[in-house]
Amino acid sequence: MVDFLCHTYGWRPFTEPNLLNPYLDDFYGDMDRWAFHSQISFLAHKFRIHMDLMQEPSTVVQDRTIYEDAEIFARYLHEAGHMSERDFGTYSDLYAAMRKALAPPDLLIRLECSVRALRRRIRKRGRPEEQDIPLKYIKSLQGLYEDWFDRYDLSPVLVINTERLDYIGDMVDRLEVRRALEPFLS
């Protein structure tokens, strides 16, 4: 979606800094040992990106926000027992302090699809470290996303069901996405 929006509207992309996280490979190998380190690294990178975005004069699109890292991924790791109460408390305190400094996004676009579609897209994306992600993990994250979206109130939310939507290859689907975005562009 980020590429589509940037190409269609000329917006600047800000993508998730996976390659900048020096703990990611270790994390996928041993979540209990590296969850806190990996999440702190993501939090630091996302905070820097968000601060840069607040200074950006043009419209930008971010593929995943600092809010999701904290309220979905770190929460999952804590609830699943991969991050101790002490580590999660430290992480949460840091996130709360950072959040006070951040301006909320103008719009959140929620892309919905089934777990089956998510797994298919993960395989297609082809990142080696993601190919053996357990189904339980994906289902848990999807549930946390649903809970988070129910509570999210920082900005308007546009929901787009992408289960069968091909906004890259199908002109009708592209028009549908553009039409859905129009009320938020003025």
The set of catalytic residues is: 63
CA 66 – CA 81 distance, rounded (Å) = 21
Beta-carbon contacts of residue 160 (< 8 Å; ≥ 6 apart): 1, 109, 110, 111, 112, 177, 180
Q: What are phi and psi of 61, to 5 degrees?
A: -125, 130
Vertex 25: Cα angle to 24 and 26 (nearest 5): 90
Q: Among 31, 54, 47, which residue's Cα sits nearest to residue 137?
A: 31
CA 87 – CA 82 distance, rounded (Å) = 10
Q: Among 119, 109, 98, which residue's Cα sits nearest to residue 50?
A: 98
